[in-house]
Chains A and B, each alone.
Chain A
Amino acid sequence: MNHFILPGVVGCVLLALLLYWLLQGGAANENQLDLLKIRETLADLQLLIRSQNLVARMFDPKDLEFVRAEGDPVLVRLLNRERKAAIVGWMRRMRLQVSALMAYRISYARGTKKLRPTMELRLTLEYVTFLMTYYALIFLVWLWGPFHARRLVGSAIKSVGLFCGVFEDFVSSSVMANKQLSEM
């Protein structure tokens, strides 16, 4: 019975949010501004994902092997601390960008008359997936240290990549819809 409570609550919240957005109206200018902000934040986020090679370099196990071979436990602790700070900082920046995107999108959705529930659902799902990966990564880094969380970093990047993909679709369809409206 308990298994159904959390998904039920999440489902109700999502439905309530969707209904709320559907019932909202707003000014066209504010909408354009939100769309501009979405495009800018999306570009920043994509730039952040592109640094994944550097993130992979950060977790090169050869560095850990080398420091361990030095035979000084203080150095191993320092390496773990430095890498942990780097990955947590990077993930936090990514989460802030993703949250900003969602905030702009909600603001945009309030002002639009035509909402596409499928798109809204896809965006919400990708957002929830990213948040779950983010918190799992932060927890694992805290629990096992940064070098054991390498795979999850890849998953987090993949998750943000998918999120960006859905947002790109959303932006292009919104631009098209706005064009059609202005031509009418």
Chain B
Amino acid sequence: MTVSYRLDVEAAAEDLKNHSLRGFREEISRLVYLAGTRDYNTGKYYHDGLALRYTSEVACKALAFCHEESFRKVLEISLEDLVAQLQEYLSIHDCEGGEVLKNWSKLEVYRVIVPSVCDLLSASFFCSNLRLALAILESRMRGRPSS
């Protein structure tokens, strides 16, 4: 990787943080958004605006970098904060009384938001934390301790 290419990737990542990612209040929302820019078949990231300003290759690298960074941040937050962030995220997207929460739990949607460059321990810890956070939210939704 040449110096100018690396500088381009850094600039594109900054650009992404200052524009597309700025609108998200929660880190988990940012993470879901970034994972959504990845093609699940090829594993490549796409962002039209960024590709126009730079190149599609630079945009792909910048998105991958931001995805990994966001994933690391989510790994570091406490379970309490994760539950709060997830609750906020679900409240924005859930219009049908817990349907999104049910789908996240049942289909384990969170598995697809793990970056491809990730060690086994981090991936399993992330999924474990998400399972716990969802169980806590489900328990709260039922309004009583689960039996």
Note whether A and B form a binding pair.
Answer: yes
The answer to whether A82 touches B139 (Cβ under 8 A) is: no
A78-B76 contact given A51-B122, A89-B124, CB 8 Å threshold: no
A74 proximal to B (CB < 8 A): yes
What's the nearest-Cβ distance from chain A to residue B76, in Å?
Answer: 7
Question: How far apart are the CA atoms of A63 and B139 in the complex, in Å?
Answer: 16
A48 partner residues in chain B, CB cutoff 8 A:
121
- Given known A75-B135, A78-B135, A79-B132, contact A58–B125 (CB-CB < 8 A): yes
B51 → chain A, closest Cβ, in Å?
Answer: 33
Q: Which of A63, A72, A83, A90 makes the CB contact (< 8 A) with B121?
A: A90
Inter-chain contact B145/A82, CB cutoff 8 Å: no
Q: With A72-B139, A75-B139, A85-B128 as given contacts, are A51 and B121 in contact (CB-CB < 8 Å)?
A: yes
A-chain residues with CB within 8 Å of residue B139 when the two chains form the complex: 70, 72, 74-75
Q: A184 to nearest B CB, angstroms? A: 42
A67–B131 contact, CB under 8 A? no
1/0 contact string of B82-121 vs chain A (CB within 8 Å): 0100000000000000000000000000000000000111
Which residues of A from 14 to 65 have beta carbons under 8 Å from B?
A: 47-48, 51, 54-55, 57-58, 60, 62-63
Query: Chain A binding site: helix, strand, loop or mixed by DSSP?
Result: helix
A contact residues around B120 at 8 Å (CB):
93
Size category, A interface: 20 to 34
Instruction: Please indicate the chain A residues that have their CB under 8 angstroms from the CB of B21 in the complex.
Output: none
Q: Which residues of A contact B146 (CB under 8 A)?
A: 72, 74-75
- Chain B nearest CB from A118 CB (Å) reads 35
A54 touches B75 (CB 8 A): yes
Q: Closest Cβ of chain B: how far from A148's Cβ, in Å?
A: 18
- Smallest distance from the beta carbon of A169 to chain B beta carbons, Å? 27
* A7 lies within 8 A of chain B by Cβ: no
**Contact: A63 with B79, CB < 8 Å?**
yes
Residues on the A chain within 8 Å of B125, using CB: 54, 57-58, 86
- Interface flags for B39-81 (1: CB within 8 Å of A; 0: not) read 0000000000000000000000000000000000001101110
Cα distance A93–B121 when bound, in Å?
A: 10
Q: Say if the beta carbon of A4 comes within 8 Å of chain B.
A: no
Contact residues in A for B145 (Cβ distance below 8 Å): 71-74
Judge whether B80 and A78 touch: CB under 8 Å.
Answer: no
Q: Is B136 an interface residue (CB 8 A)?
A: yes
Contacts of B131 in A (CB 8 A): 78, 82
Bound-complex Cα distance A78 to B131 (A) = 9
Taking A67-B79, A82-B132 as known contacts, 15 extra A-B pairs with beta carbons closer than 8 A to each other, sorted by chain A number, are A54-B125, A62-B78, A62-B80, A66-B78, A66-B79, A70-B136, A72-B139, A72-B146, A74-B145, A74-B147, A75-B136, A82-B131, A86-B121, A86-B128, A89-B124
A-contacting residues of B (Cβ < 8 Å)? Answer: 75-76, 78-80, 83, 119-122, 124-125, 128, 131-132, 135-136, 139-140, 145-147
Interface residues of A (CB under 8 A from B): 47-48, 51, 54-55, 57-58, 60, 62-63, 66-67, 70-75, 78-79, 82-83, 85-86, 89-90, 93
